[in-house]
Amino acid sequence: MYGHQAIRNMSPAYPQFFRAAEGALITDVDGNEYVDLMCSWGPIVLGHRDPVVTQAVREQMEKGDCLDGPGPVLVDLAEALVDAIDDADWILFGKNGTDATTACLTIARAHTSRAVVLVARGVYHGAAPWCSPVPAGTLPSDRAAMGYFEYNDQADFDRAVEAAGSDLAGVMLTPFRHVEGEDQELVDVEFARHVRRRCDELDALLILDDVRCGFRFAHGGSWEPIGVSSDLSAWSKAIANGYPLAAVTGRESLRDAASAVFLTGSFWMNSTPMAAALATIRRLDAIDGVSLMQRAGARLRAGVLTQAADSGLTIAYTGPDVMPYMTFAGDVHHERMTRFAEAALASGVYLHPKHNWFMSCAMDDAVIDRALRATEQAFAAVRRHFGPR
């Protein structure tokens, strides 16, 4: 087993294979059912096997999927996304989040005829050699034109800009800082404005990597609520409720650069994931999905914080309510968090001890309360094992 879904680094209690899913619930291959707080690591935003999305996929399968050119659904979807996303004047589709972030880099370089792209240190932007968090098999030349700075640190950002000199093509940022095993950090609005201003001054591009947050944090770009615009954005995960699709959106001024670069893949024009995405976006809009997820997330946060306090355990519960993560104070090797996750699993909640969780629209009050009955057991297990603090 390989990839982010390999459980080799997790507790042996974790199941590797799953056989079913419905709404907010998943069932492992041995028949154990869990409330799924991971939402398949982000893609499931309406709930597993959402009937509206499934129906759209079935109907598209009757028409055709992988053809010699795209189907009309490409146009419908592109129009829906350009409508939904303020900063989007055009759109390209791919399969992986990494396809989208890599395309943003290439488009920024083609547009500016410059090389350097700055990213925040330790932040995940995909699995290509230029951004892989694991160096095995990658070369220093793969990231020869990357620069690094501390997220939310204006002075360090300015230092990286200075180092790039006249060769700065762009800056890529996630909407907030989510790094595996660390407390999450919302973006400092002043920092975001500062990056926008510096990019404008230097004719460099601001690239928002909305692969993980897009269509969960806000309906449209994740920085629309703070009013900071991007030039290019990368999308994937929640865009099609689990069907394989990624996208790049950009400003009109970047259309020529986006047309000049070479972006293609055998299945990039497949129609069924696009039909799934169109149904997902429309449904999220119709039911105000972001509000539903915020409500679920707020209920989970309140419940977890109460349980921690009642247990006499000190935790940090960070990030937006729709994508929270928790850590125990002083839990340097994640021992408490691992024990917490194991106990939660045994009590019927699937969550990850080192990765942020995700809310979906299928998480009504009853689901959250069911999850909270499991986390209550999990806090008790941590307290039993490690004592209060």
Looking at residues 259 to 278 of the shown chain, list those that interact with a copy of itself (rule: CB under 8 A). 259-270, 273
How do beta strands 315-318 and 18-22 pair? unpaired
Sign of CA dihedral 368, 370, 373, 377: negative
Tell whether residue 144 is a contact of a copy of itself (CB under 8 A). Answer: yes
Tell whether residue 142 is a contact of a copy of itself (CB under 8 A). Answer: yes
- Options 32, 33, 41, 188; binder of a copy of itself; rule CB under 8 A: 41
What does the alpha-carbon distance between residue 304 and residue 340 come to, in Å, rounded to a whole number?
Answer: 12
- Options 11, 59, 64, 121; binder of a copy of itself; rule CB under 8 A: 64
What would the x/- binding string for a copy of itself be over residues 95 to 124, using CB under 8 A? Answer: xxxxx--x--xxxxxx----x---------
What does the alpha-carbon distance between residue 314 and residue 305 come to, in Å, rounded to a whole number?
Answer: 9
Tell whether residue 232 is a contact of a copy of itself (CB under 8 A). Answer: no
Which residue lies nearer to a copy of itself by CB, 263 or 298? 263
- Options 52, 80, 82, 145; binder of a copy of itself; rule CB under 8 A: 145
Residues in the chain: 389
Q: Which stretch binds a copy of itself (CB under 8 A): 127-135, 296-304, 320-328, 366-374?
A: 127-135
Tell whether residue 32 is a contact of a copy of itself (CB under 8 A). Answer: no
Residue 318 DSSP SS3? strand
What does the alpha-carbon distance between residue 255 and residue 129 come to, in Å, rounded to a whole number?
Answer: 26
Tell whether residue 237 is a contact of a copy of itself (CB under 8 A). Answer: yes
Tell whether residue 148 is a contact of a copy of itself (CB under 8 A). Answer: no
What does the alpha-carbon distance between residue 206 and residue 74 come to, in Å, rounded to a whole number?
Answer: 26
Tell whether residue 129 is a contact of a copy of itself (CB under 8 A). Answer: yes
Which residue lies nearer to a copy of itself by CB, 43 or 319? 43
Tell whether residue 348 is a contact of a copy of itself (CB under 8 A). Answer: no
Sequence letter at residue 201:
E
Compute and round to an integer the Cα radius of gyration of the chain: 21
Tell whether residue 244 is a contact of a copy of itself (CB under 8 A). Answer: yes
Closest separation in Å from C-beta 329 to a copy of itself: 28
Closest separation in Å from C-beta 63 to a copy of itself: 6
Q: Which stretch binds a copy of itself (CB under 8 A): 40-48, 177-185, 193-201, 336-344?
A: 40-48
- Options 23, 24, 35, 42; binder of a copy of itself; rule CB under 8 A: 42
DSSP 196-248: HHHHHHHTPEEEEE-TTTTTTSSSS-TTTTTT---SEEEE-GGGGTTSS-EEE
Q: Which residues are CB-contacts of 92 (< 8 A; sequence separation ≥ 6)?
A: 103, 247, 248, 258, 263
